Each structure stands twice: as structure tokens, then as C-alpha cells.
């Protein structure tokens, strides 16, 4: 974030002579779906040359609004103005042609095609025989990348790139349509700190060029770092727009949730018991080496490190998803052989995976079946028949305890918000009454309210003597929740810090060692 | 969290909501098709299409073999797979079971010393052939990770070849009355419905059923939830094979002959019935009741077209169109739900 502070300080081109019209304005947009009003007559303005963050819990209506602005949904009521001119958007392509581009949370690139082919897809330059002119294609891409200071070769295949690089390609693609309005939906959710810094430089560069950027994020720190203004939504309603310089973090949270969140990290001091999980020299060839640590009953062991440092791999090895190639795992002092997740479950472990959609939810099944999936391994089954009465009762109790917001237990999980899905998955593992709970990014992409509830729950579980291993990329979360913090870097354990010695700096030192 | 944001939460969870079963819409389609043929029947033939016991019997009887296969195919498709080998396994099971059901005074019996056996043995043989074929499918898919389409395509070709080799291209005939009894009267229907009931219960009320849906909905998540996905898939394909084996045995019994050319394209009829019945090819969704209705729709259509004297060639074209229409309708329905 230091490289182009000089350009940053310069006033935006539009700041000197403010335009008569905002770049993009929406007025009185109403969008209803069967049974729910997703947006209730909201209005919102985006000025040229600003980064405008949209804030709100999951389900507040941000995504619906973005889908309307990018032409995916047609609003039931209300108007959209671009450069002061009223427009009607019929499809995403329509929006793109008018200069409104959305960069989706899930990237939409074709992995087997090159970077250049992906950027210019449907607009490939042709040679005189009507074939694609690859030379020109790559040249145009290089030019575009230079302008955005992106350092990626145009002719490599997308599948060889990291998530961060793919993100850059998506942004470049959006810019290549000469878009004035760029919408970014949680662009940093899979990025490391340095990658985030690079992304922010690009965003500042775009702002400099007079683009208007709508930025959706759950990360409060980013808001203050990158956004000029922000608007808050809650339950489908527009709450307020403020300049980000004028408010504090707490103000925003209050606006978002409409209530006070007393404590983000309700760490309770609980008695720490005996060693429950003992890991010795765990290796997975080519991925991580010689990982040794213990967790005691009631202890929360945080696990920090950059994305790609091997944290999730260690968790997967512990749970037998990809079994370790050497090393020992002992539970309560007894060595256990864990070669499948089933074996790990039997040994008393539970594993909330990092990727809700890929390895967590059964999207087409209902809450009941999602919650009951892991416990059937040991319980609630008599001669092959599921004892649905007691299982349903216990699932329902769990859902109530976790405050899952849903009309009924037979609601398909796909229809829930991210936070509620996560609660259902947490419930799935709690029903197994684990001795050891592994949490991989337990609060990624979920709203503040659900986040706080999950933090509270994790603390309670520790209080009940569960040994907890918690992987998180969010520094405040690791620092706030953990008794000790182990840090990984490039497949090695670089250190374990006590709560009292740990701070952002000491962790980063170990993580980037 | 206090009062402000718990509006639609838990107090309402206990309230049972009246929801139509997902099969309801397919059932309406079945009803619609029946009404259509009923109307045209009076107009063209001056007689009722539906209120004809004989015809209804024939419809169900003709479809029961496809129905037995479709139950297994339904399980496979719920796990997100596909089984193209059913028709060929029908042939393999038909010829093997028939070979053990020949009468003793037939000089050219395949196994002259194994004639006049009790019906139990040919039936077991047919089932075993299917089970082996299915287990082979399942093991290939689970162990090597090749797509089910390819694994079962291989067996589709191989099992047909086996049936031809086994019979030398000749029909296996002169079968015992005992064996023929399997295919007589309503017996195939009874077998079909019994199997349907069993697997309806299995899918809805057992751990095996829950795991089947879980694997189809998200294989990775199923594994992380402690489900032995590979073992389960082997079972699923083995069951599908076993049911094809039963279907083959019944086919041979009905024809009182085992032929290597039996069951051609049955796999596609079964897949069509399953898809019409609302099972998603993506996996994770589908019920036996839907499949039974899907089977009936196919049966009513075949019978109805003959009844209103539409040429068999047109029948096939229309059938193709209806299968595609069913999937389009299903997709449309899903899309509407998701928004």
C-alpha cells in the first residue's frame, strides 16, 4: 500500500469540477421474490472517481441490488440513471455494453484457455482469414495489463494461476469493456495480505481514472482503507450513506445490525485440562513437513499463516481427508490411525471445512438432512433405519440453540444465507459431540451477527472441555479467540505463540519468515 | 442477538407447513395424458381408453420390466451417476437364467445335466449375473475414478457380447413351466411393485438412503461427513445390476426364451422414466414414487399411441420429444425456485 501514495494524494479529476449528475443513481428500487421483499424502495448514488462500499449483513439486500445494477434481475419498481440518463437494463450484456461490469465472487474464467483469450472472449481480434489473431490478442492484453500494473503473462493458461491472479484477470476483463462502473463482490475473500495490497493499488488506479467502484465487503478494515463512501443496508432497506472518514467501526456495525454487538470476541477464561490431541512430526509429502503440536481440553489453538502455507492441509490430514504420509496422531495419549474421515469421526474429531459450498453443504438437501449427515455414522440408527424422531428432535434443538433463521427444518439449505448455512454445518458437527473440533475459517463470508454468535459458541465449547483447532486468515479473530497461536509458513510450523505474546506483528513475522 | 432480527426464526419451525409432494406435478402430467387419450379414444374409437381393465393390466405388465430397471437406475442417478449397461445386463441375465431353466427332454440343452431345476436356481443365477455386472461397474467407478458413463458404457458392450457368446446367437428355449410362471399373469407387476416399495422405504427411512442422497448432493462433503463414498457407490451399482438381473430373468420368463438380443435400449427407457419422474441428473434429488409415475407415463404413452393408431415411428419421435420436454420443465421449475 506504499508504492503509489504519491498519486493517491492527488485530488481526483472530478473533485475539482463536480459533475452535475452522479455517475450512477438508482431511485426507489423495489424487488420482491415470493414471500420476501428483497429490496424495499432503496435509493443510492455512486459518484465518479470514488470507491463506494456497500455494507450490510447477509440477506440485507446488497447482492440483490448488485444484480439489478448489473442487469441480472429486473426491478419491480424504480429507476436507474447512468450519467443522469434513465436506462433500462435487460441483461448482464446490456449492462456491460453500457459500461457497468460486475466482478463476481465466484470467478467465471475458463481454466483451459489463456489469460488473453479469457479477457477478450467474444471480442477476439481476427486476421484477414477470419481466424483469431493471437499475436494481436496478446499485445492488447499486455497493453491493458500494463495500464493496470498487473504482472501476468497474457499467454499462460488460467488454470496455472493463483486465485489472486485470476481475480486480477477478471478485473482487467471488466476494465477492457471501458466500463465506468465496476462492481466488486468480496474481492479479497481468498487473497493474502500482499495480494490485497496489490488489488487496492489497482483499485486506486481505477479510481484515479474516474471510474466508480462499488465494493461489497464484510471486512471492516478494508472499508476504512479503500472506500471513500459507504452505504448501509439492512433487511432490504437503505439505512444511510456516509463518508468513511466521518464514522467509526462501531457506528457502522450499529447501523448494519440495528443493535449493539457487545463483544466481538467473547473469549472466556476456562480451565485448561490435559492434552487431548497430540501431533508428532506429521508430514504430507510435498505439502507440509514435521508438524508437531498439542491441544489441551478447553484450549483454543489458533492457526495462522498466509493462504497456501499448508494450514488447511494439516487440518485435512488430521481428519483423514488426505491422510498424512508420516507422523503420529495421539488422542488422550493413545495413538490412532486416521486414514479416512470416518476413522477421525470415530476417534472423536469433527471438522468444519473451509469451503462451505465445495465440501460442506449438501445444497439440494434440506436443513434436517444437512445437519444429520455426520452423526448417522455412530448414532440414531437402528438396524440400518434412521431413528428420525429423536434425530429430528435433536437437530431442531440444535438449530434453535444456534439460532438458525429459517421457516422450517425442511427448507433446502441452498435458500439460506451464508451465515445460516454455516450454523447448520456447525450444528452437524456439534451433534457428534466431538472431543476435538477443527474449524477452518469458521466465519468466512458470513455477517457480523452470525460471526459473533459463532465466536461465542466456540468459546462455550472450549468451556465444556472441547479441544479446538481454529484456522483463520482474520488476524483479529485469531488474536481474539486463541489461547495459543501456531503459525505456518510454506508447509512448516514456524512458531507457537502464547496469547499474551501474540500480536499482529509477531504473527506476521512468523508467517512471512 | 436480541429482538430486532429474529423475526422469522424458531417459533415457526415447529409449525408443519402443508406442502404438496414434488411428485404432484408429474402426477398431473400423467393424469393429463390419460385424459387426452380418453378424449381422443371416444372420438376415434368410440370407447374408453382408461376404463378398460385389460388395457390397464397390459400397460403395467409391459412396463414392469422397465420399472424394475428404473428403480436401480434411479438410485444410481440420485448419486449423480448413470448406468448405461442395464439393457445388456438384462440380456446376459436372461440367457444365463434361461440356460438353467431348460426342460430335461430337450436334447440340445446348454447344460444337459442341469435341467428341470427348481425355479429358484435360474432366478438366483439371473440375479447373480446382474449383481456381478453391477459390482464390476461400481468397483471400476469407485477404484479407478473413471466417469460412470464410460464404465457402464464398457459393460454395456461387454455384457451384450457375453450374452451372444453364451448362446452362440441362438435363443435359449424349451424352458420349464415353473420358470415361465415368473412372467405369467401379474407376477412381473408384483415383483416391480414389491421392489419399488422396498426401495422407497430404503431411500426414505434408512441410513443407506440418506447416504445415497448425500453423495449425490455433494460427494466431497459426504466423504468429510464420514461416509465411505467408494463402498457406498459399489453397493449402489451392484443393486442396480442386481435389479437388471431380476428384470432379465423376468423378461426370459415372459418370453419363455432367453435371447442375446433382449433388452436393447431398455437402459434408455429406464433413464427416461427416472428423469420424467423428477430425478435430477446432477444428483441429490429424486424419489421412487416419481420414478413409478415416470414409468407409468411411458407405458400410457406407448399404449395410448397404439390405441389411437399412431404409427410406431411417430411414437418414438414423440417419446423423444417428451423426454426432453420433461427435463426442460424440470430445469425451469428449479430455476424459478432458486430465484
Tell me which residue in B15, B207, B218 faces A381 most closely, judged by beta carbons. Answer: B207
Does residue A370 share a domain with residue A396? Answer: yes
Residues 6+ apart with CB under 8 A from B90: B65, B69, B244, B247, B248, B251, B262, B263, B266
Does residue A451 share a domain with residue A316? Answer: yes
Q: Do A408 and B13 touch (CB under 8 A)?
A: yes
Q: Looking at residue A316, what is its pLDDT? A: 94
Is residue A392 in a domain? yes
Is residue A190 in a domain? no
Is residue A13 in a domain? no
- Of the residues A347, A355, A376, A382, the best mutation for testing chain B's interface (the one with the most B CB atoms within 10 Å of its CB) is A376
Q: Looking at residue A258, what is its pLDDT? A: 67
Does residue A500 share a domain with residue A467? Answer: yes
Is residue A61 in a domain? no
Q: Looking at residue B8, what is its pLDDT? A: 41
Q: Which of A399, A414, A433 is the last residue of a domain?
A: A433
Q: Measuring CA to CA, which residue among B180, B186, B185, B189 is closest to residue B254? A: B180
Is residue B88 in a domain? yes
- The domain that holds A455 is classified in CATH as 3.40.50.300
Q: Which of A382, A403, A433 is the last residue of a domain?
A: A433
Q: Do A364 and B5 touch (CB under 8 A)?
A: no
Tell me which residue in B15, B206, B220 faces A359 most closely, judged by beta carbons. Answer: B220
Q: β-strand A51-55 against A229-234: which pairing, if any?
A: parallel
C-alpha cell at B27: 402426477
Q: Is the pLDDT of residue A88 over 80?
A: yes
- pLDDT category, A17, cuts 50, 70, 90? very low
Burial of A408 (0-12, 13-18, 19+ CB in 10 A): middle
Q: Are B41 and B307 in contact (CB under 8 A)?
A: yes
Q: Are B58 and B212 in contact (CB under 8 A)?
A: no
- Closest Cα of chain A to B51: distance in Å? 39
Q: Looking at residue A465, what is its pLDDT? A: 92
Q: Is the pLDDT of residue A422 over 50?
A: yes
Does residue A381 share a domain with residue A513? Answer: no
Is residue B107 in a domain? yes
Q: List the domain range (segments joined by +) for residue B314.
A: 50-328
Q: Are B96 and B126 in contact (CB under 8 A)?
A: yes
Tell me which residue in A33, A362, A386 faces B206 most closely, judged by beta carbons. Answer: A386
Q: Looking at residue A1, what is its pLDDT? A: 40
Tell me which residue in B13, B14, B217 faces A363 most closely, judged by beta carbons. Answer: B217
Q: Looking at residue A419, what is its pLDDT? A: 85
C-alpha cell at A413: 439449505
DSSP A437-471: EEEESTTTT--HHHHHHHHHHHHHHHHTT-EEEEE
- Closest Cα of chain B to A281: distance in Å? 23
Tell me which residue in A257, A353, A408 faces B5 most closely, judged by beta carbons. Answer: A257
Query: In A1-35, at which residue ranges do the beta strands (DSSP E only) sit?
Result: 24-33
Q: Do A340 and B282 touch (CB under 8 A)?
A: no
Is residue B90 in a domain? yes
- Of the residues A362, A390, A440, the best mutation for testing chain B's interface (the one with the most B CB atoms within 10 Å of its CB) is A362
Residues 6+ apart with CB under 8 A from B75: B199, B203, B212, B236, B239, B240
Is residue A276 in a domain? yes
What pLDDT, in 10s, does the model give residues A361-416? 999 899 999 999 999 988 898 888 999 899 999 999 999 999 888 888 988 898 88
Q: Do B220 and A405 touch (CB under 8 A)?
A: no
Does residue A428 share a domain with residue A280? Answer: no
- Give the ipTM: 0.83
Residues within 8 A of A (CB atoms), B 267-326 only? 280, 282-285
- Closest Cα of chain A to B17: distance in Å? 8
Q: Are A230 and A422 in contact (CB under 8 A)?
A: no
Does residue A426 share a domain with residue A403? Answer: yes
Query: In A244-321, at which residue ranges do the beta strands (DSSP E only) sit?
Result: 275-284, 288-296, 300-305
Does residue A375 share a domain with residue A320? Answer: no
Q: Measuring CA to CA, which residue among A493, A495, A492, A497 is closest to residue A482? A: A497
Is residue B309 in a domain? yes
What pLDDT, in 10s, does the model give residues A111-120? 899 999 999 9
Size of interface A-B (CB pairs under 8 A): 129
- pLDDT category, A4, cuts 50, 70, 90? very low
- Closest Cα of chain A to B205: distance in Å? 6
- Closest Cα of chain A to B191: distance in Å? 23
Contact list, B223 vs chain A (CB under 8 Å): 321, 340-341
Residue identified by cell 477478450 is: A120
Tell me which residue in B221, B283, B338 faces A361 most closely, judged by beta carbons. Answer: B221
| DSSP H/E element including B254 | helix B229-255
What pLDDT, in 10s, does the model give residues B50-66? 888 888 888 888 899 99
Q: Looking at residue A106, what is its pLDDT? A: 63
Tell me which chain B residue has its CA closest to the CA of residue A33: B339
- pLDDT category, A12, cuts 50, 70, 90? very low
Distance from the Cα of residue B295 to its chain's centroid = 8
Does residue A391 share a domain with residue A426? Answer: yes
Q: List the domain range (segments joined by +) for residue A340.
A: 270-348+435-513
Query: In A310-354, at which residue ranges do the beta strands (DSSP E only) sit?
Result: 326-331, 334-336, 349-352
Q: Do A410 and B19 touch (CB under 8 A)?
A: yes
Q: Looking at residue B22, what is its pLDDT? A: 72
Is residue B296 in a domain? yes
Is residue B14 in a domain? no
More reliable by pLDDT, A170 or B136:
B136
Tell me which chain A residue has its CA closest to the CA of residue B201: A385
Q: How many domains does chain A have?
A: 2
Percent of chain A with pLDDT over 90: 42
Tell me which residue in A360, A361, A386 faces B210 most closely, judged by beta carbons. Answer: A386
- pLDDT category, A264, cuts 50, 70, 90? low
Does residue A416 share a domain with residue A370? Answer: yes
Tell me which residue in B19, B221, B228 faces A362 most closely, judged by beta carbons. Answer: B221
DSSP B158-174: HHHHHHHHHHTTS-B--
Is residue A311 in a domain? yes
Q: Is the pLDDT of residue A58 over 80?
A: no
- Closest Cα of chain A to B192: distance in Å? 23
Q: Is the pLDDT of residue A18 over 60?
A: no
What pLDDT, in 10s, does the model give residues A271-328? 888 999 999 999 999 889 999 999 999 999 999 887 778 899 999 999 999 999 999 9
Q: Is B228 on the interface with A (CB under 8 A)?
A: yes
What pLDDT, in 10s, does the model give residues A326-347? 999 999 999 999 999 999 999 9
| DSSP H/E element including B301 | helix B288-307
Is residue B141 in a domain? yes
**Rounded to whole angstroms, what are the CA distances from A412 to A12, A431, B290?**
47, 19, 19
Q: What is the mean pLDDT of residues A29-56?
A: 85
Q: Measuring CA to CA, which residue among A106, A373, A309, A286 is closest to residue B227? A: A373
Q: Measuring CA to CA, which residue among B208, B209, B215 is closest to residue B282? A: B215
With a threshold of 0.80, does the pTM exceed it? Answer: no
What pLDDT, in 10s, does the model give residues B99-143? 999 888 877 778 878 888 888 999 999 999 999 999 999 999 999
Is residue B12 in a domain? no
- The domain that holds B116 is classified in CATH as 1.10.3470
Q: Do A373 and B282 touch (CB under 8 A)?
A: no
Is residue A498 in a domain? yes
Q: Of the ranges A5-14, A254-263, B234-243, B328-337, which is most confident?
A: B234-243
Q: Do B284 and A453 touch (CB under 8 A)?
A: no
- Closest Cα of chain A to B135: distance in Å? 21
Q: Looking at residue A36, what is its pLDDT? A: 67
Does residue A446 share a domain with residue A337? Answer: yes
Q: Are A148 and A202 in contact (CB under 8 A)?
A: yes
Quickly count: other Cβ atoms within 10 Å of residue A2's Cβ. Answer: 7
Residue ranges of chain B whose pLDDT lies below 50: 1-17, 338-339
Q: How many domains does chain B have?
A: 1
Tell me which residue in A235, A374, A399 faces B225 most closely, judged by beta carbons. Answer: A374
Q: Which of A433, A458, A473 is the last residue of a domain?
A: A433
Contact list, B4 vs chain A (CB under 8 Å): 257-259
Q: What angle do CA A119, A121, A123 make, to 5 degrees?
A: 105
- Closest Cα of chain B to A3: distance in Å? 42
**How many CA atoms lie less than 13 Å away from A302 in the CB half-sphere?**
26
Does residue A387 share a domain with residue A327? Answer: no
Does residue A443 share a domain with residue A341? Answer: yes
- Closest Cα of chain B to A446: distance in Å? 15
Give the C-alpha separation, A34 to A51, whole Å.
33
Amino acid at each position: 500500500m506504499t508504492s503509489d501514495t504519491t498519486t493517491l494524494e492527488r485530488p481526483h479529476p472530478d473533485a475539482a469540477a463536480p459533475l452535475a449528475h452522479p455517475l450512477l443513481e438508482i431511485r426507489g428500487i423495489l424487488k420482491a421474490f415470493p414471500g420476501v421483499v428483497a429490496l424495499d424502495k432503496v435509493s443510492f448514488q455512486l459518484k465518479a472517481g470514488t470507491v463506494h462500499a456497500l455494507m450490510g449483513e447477509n440477506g440485507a439486500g446488497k447482492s440483490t441490488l448488485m444484480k439489478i445494477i448489473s442487469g441480472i434481475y429486473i426491478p419491480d419498481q424504480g429507476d436507474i440513471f447512468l450519467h443522469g440518463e434513465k436506462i433500462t437494463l435487460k441483461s448482464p450484456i446490456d449492462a456491460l455494453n453500457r459500461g457497468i461490469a460486475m466482478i463476481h465472487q465466484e470467478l467465471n474464467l475458463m481454466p483451459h484457455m489463456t489469460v488473453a483469450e479469457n479477457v477478450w472472449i467474444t471480442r477476439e481480434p481476427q486476421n484477414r482469414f477470419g481466424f483469431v489473431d493471437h499475436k494481436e490478442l496478446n499485445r492488447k492484453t499486455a497493453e491493458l495489463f500494463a495500464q493496470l500494473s498487473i504482472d501476468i503473462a497474457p499467454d499462460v493458461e488460467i488454470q496455472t494461476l493463483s486465485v489472486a491472479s485470476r481475480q486480477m484477470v477478471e478485473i482487467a476483463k471488466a476494465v477492457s469493456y471501458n466500463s465506468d462502473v465496476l462492481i466488486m463482490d468480496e474481492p479479497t475473500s481468498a487473497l493474502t495480505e500482499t495480494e490485497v495490497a496489490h488489488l487496492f493499488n489497482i483499485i486506486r488506479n481505477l479510481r484515479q481514472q474516474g471510474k466508480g467502484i462499488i465494493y461489497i465487503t464484510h471486512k471492516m478494515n478494508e472499508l476504512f482503507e479503500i472506500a471513500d463512501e459507504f452505504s448501509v443496508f439492512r433487511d432490504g432497506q437503505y439505512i444511510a450513506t456516509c463518508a468513511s472518514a466521518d464514522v467509526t467501526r462501531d457506528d457502522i456495525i450499529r447501523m448494519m445490525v440495528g443493535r449493539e454487538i457487545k463483544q466481538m470476541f467473547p473469549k472466556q477464561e476456562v480451565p485448561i485440562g490435559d492434552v487431548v490431541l497430540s501431533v508428532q512430526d506429521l508430514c504430507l509429502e510435498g505439502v507440509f513437513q514435521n508438524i508437531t503440536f498439542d491441544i489441551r481440553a478447553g484450549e483454543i489453538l489458533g492457526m495462522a499463516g498466509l493462504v497456501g502455507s499448508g494450514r488447511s492441509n494439516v487440518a485435512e490430514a488430521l481428519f483423514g481427508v488426505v491422510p498424512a504420509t508420516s507422523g503420529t496422531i495421539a488422542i488422550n495419549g493413545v495413538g490412532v490411525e486416521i486414514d479416512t474421515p470416518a476413522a477421525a469421526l470415530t476417534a472423536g474429531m469433527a471438522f468444519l471445512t473451509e469451503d462451505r459450498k465445495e465440501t460442506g453443504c449438501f445444497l439440494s438437501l434440506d436443513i434436517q438432512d444437512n445437519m444429520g449427515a455426520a452423526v448417522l455414522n455412530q448414532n440414531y440408527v437402528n438396524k440400518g433405519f434412521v431413528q428420525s424422531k429423536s434425530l429430528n428432535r435433536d437437530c431442531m434443538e440444535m438449530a434453535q440453540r444456534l439460532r438458525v433463521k429459517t421457516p422450517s427444518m425442511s427448507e433446502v439449505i441452498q435458500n439460506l444465507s451464508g451465515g445460516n448455512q454455516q450454523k447448520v454445518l456447525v450444528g452437524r458437527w456439534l451433534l457428534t459431540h466431538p472431543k476435538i473440533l477443527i474449524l477452518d475459517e469458521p466465519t468466512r463470508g458470513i455477517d457480523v451477527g452470525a460471526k459473533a454468535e459463532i465466536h461465542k459458541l466456540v468459546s462455550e465449547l472450549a468451556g465444556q472441555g472441547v479441544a479446538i483447532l481454529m484456522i483463520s486468515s482474520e488476524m483479529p479473530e485469531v488474536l481474539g479467540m486463541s489461547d495459543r497461536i501456531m503459525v505456518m509458513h510454506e508447509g512448516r510450523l514456524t512458531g507457537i505463540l502464547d496469547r499474551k505474546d501474540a500480536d499482529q506483528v509477531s504473527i506476521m513475522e512468523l508467517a512471512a519468515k | 442477538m436480541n429482538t430486532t432480527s429474529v423475526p422469522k426464526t424458531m417459533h415457526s419451525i415447529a409449525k408443519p407447513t402443508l406442502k404438496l409432494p414434488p411428485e404432484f406435478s408429474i402426477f398431473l402430467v400423467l393424469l393429463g395424458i390419460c385424459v387426452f387419450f380418453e378424449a381422443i379414444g371416444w372420438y376415434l374409437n368410440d370407447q374408453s381408453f382408461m376404463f378398460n381393465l385389460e388395457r390397464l393390466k397390459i400397460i403395467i405388465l409391459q412396463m414392469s420390466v422397465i420399472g424394475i430397471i428404473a428403480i436401480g437406475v434411479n438410485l444410481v442417478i440420485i448419486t449423480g451417476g448413470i448406468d448405461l449397461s442395464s439393457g445388456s445386463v438384462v440380456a446376459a441375465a436372461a440367457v444365463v437364467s434361461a440356460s438353467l431353466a431348460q426342460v430335461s427332454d430337450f436334447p440340445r440343452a446348454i447344460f444337459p445335466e442341469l435341467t428341470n431345476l427348481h425355479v429358484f436356481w435360474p432366478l438366483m443365477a439371473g440375479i447373480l449375473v446382474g449383481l456381478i455386472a453391477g459390482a464390476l461397474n461400481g468397483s471400476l467407478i469407485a477404484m479407478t475414478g473413471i466417469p460412470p458413463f464410460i464404465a457402464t458404457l464398457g459393460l454395456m458392450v461387454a455384457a451384450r457380447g457375453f450374452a451372444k457368446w453364451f448362446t452362440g446367437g441362438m435363443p435359449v428355449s424349451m424352458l420349464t413351466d415353473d420358470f415361465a410362471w415368473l412372467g405369467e399373469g401379474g407376477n412381473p407387476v408384483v415383483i416391480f411393485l414389491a421392489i419399488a416399495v422396498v426401495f422407497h422405504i430404503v431411500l426414505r427411512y434408512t441410513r443407506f438412503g440418506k447416504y445415497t442422497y448425500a453423495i449425490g448432493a455433494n460427494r466431497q462433503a459426504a466423504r468429510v461427513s464420514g461416509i465411505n463414498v467408494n463402498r457406498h457407490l459399489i453397493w449402489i451399482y451392484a443393486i442396480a445390476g442386481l435389479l437388471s438381473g431380476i428384470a432379465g430373468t423376468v423378461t426370459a420368463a415372459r418370453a419363455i426364451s432367453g435371447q442375446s438380443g433382449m433388452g436393447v435400449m431398455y437402459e434408455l427407457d429406464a433413464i427416461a422414466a427416472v428423469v420424467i419422474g423428477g430425478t435430477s441428473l446432477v444428483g441429490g434429488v429424486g424419489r421412487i414414487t416419481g420414478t413409478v409415475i415416470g414409468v407409468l407415463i411411458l407405458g400410457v404413452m406407448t399404449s395410448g399411441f397404439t390405441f389411437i393408431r399412431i404409427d410406431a415411428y411417430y411414437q418414438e419421435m414423440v417419446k423423444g420429444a417428451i423426454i426432453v420436454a420433461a427435463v426442460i420443465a424440470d430445469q425451469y421449475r428449479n430455476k424459478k425456485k432458486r430465484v
